[in-house]
Amino acid sequence: MGSKTLPGQYQTKSTQHRHIKVSQKLQTLIRLLRQPIMSDKPNLDEVTSFDKSKLKKTETQEKNPLPSKETIEQEKQAAS
């Protein structure tokens, strides 16, 4: 008996396994083909036409500033 099945015949576990693997590979290939293709050179139109004047001014504040050298020395002396 060959590996092909005729209508009405049962598939063996090995042929079912191969069918599942091929089906999974086809699904992966279809998913990859549906994704947009990225070119090697990105489109910089939006970056070059960006208007910085529309940005809001912000003040940057550090939440946890580093201690000064004096503070570190005081803590070292206090620990001794």
Per DSSP, the residues of 11-79 read PPHHHHHHHHHHHHHHHHHHHHHHSPPPPSS---HHHHT--GGGSPP-----SSPPPPHHHHHHHHHHH
**What average pLDDT does this structure show over 48-60?**
90
The per-residue pLDDT for range 5-39, each reduced to its tens digit, is 566 666 666 777 777 788 888 898 888 888 777 66
Determine if the pTM surpasses 0.75: no
**What average pLDDT does this structure show over 49-64?**
89
Quick one: pLDDT at residue 9? 60
Quick one: pLDDT at residue 1? 46
Quick one: pLDDT at residue 16? 72
